[in-house]
Structure 1
């Protein structure tokens, strides 16, 4: 069948995901029965795409979707799931030395790019997006290492030892 999913099909699909939770052997077949014209295989593939999108959003690779009826869509302030109104924007909390050391340990164990694992298993006080942002700043700091004499000290200068 077609690879395109209408808004209506996606709505039925998402509601059915809740109704037929993970762990059911017949999950994809049951959901396909509710989405006209879609096979169990197509339903499962749609779920896998949704799963990848969520992981990319959590990792900070892509931005969350903006919806026409979402008041945040027209807001000049970036979206954050931690706040309910754009005017409630707060300055970020600086990373502690301990968090940075745990970040370095997680980086060594899980590798560059696996921000979700680092967040879940090493720096549990930070989200994958925060870990990715911290990593970006950390690697930028490393790449400008030769210009040390004219810059302020930073948490990114802390090493594991």
Structure 2
């Protein structure tokens, strides 16, 4: 979907391989995370789920979208169903975990190409460095913030709450 120019134009694949239109999130706040099941940062699923449950309860217009990725050290080798089961059984993940996604290179998901262009990393780097990088998309569909893998989910709360307080 090279013609997509706004967050809501993208349609990444869900775990069944069907299009997952992001226009369903118009006017909402979305935290996007590239995840992995066998990574040193995998325990962040616990913090992400806690953040999701706490904020989604009072702000149903907030969600997290997980994008499993096997590009970093082959740390998410399972099938989409195995990954979804792992997340649910081990961390009680209830936010959407979509289909396995490439975030860098020639086969990178167009959504990730757009995210990296909108909010480059350190020194303008337009690539994802590792699993569990996070992007916050505001109600207006713009990228509000980007965090490194080392940033713990609980520390994102003030920035997410600020985005939730904004009106479109």
* TM-score bin (small chain): under 0.3
Determine which structure has the larger strand proportion and give its number. Answer: 2
Determine which structure has the larger helix proportion and give its number. Answer: 1
TM-score calculated relative to the size of structure 1: 0.23
Structure possessing the higher relative contact order (Cα contacts under 8 Å, 6 or more residues apart):
2
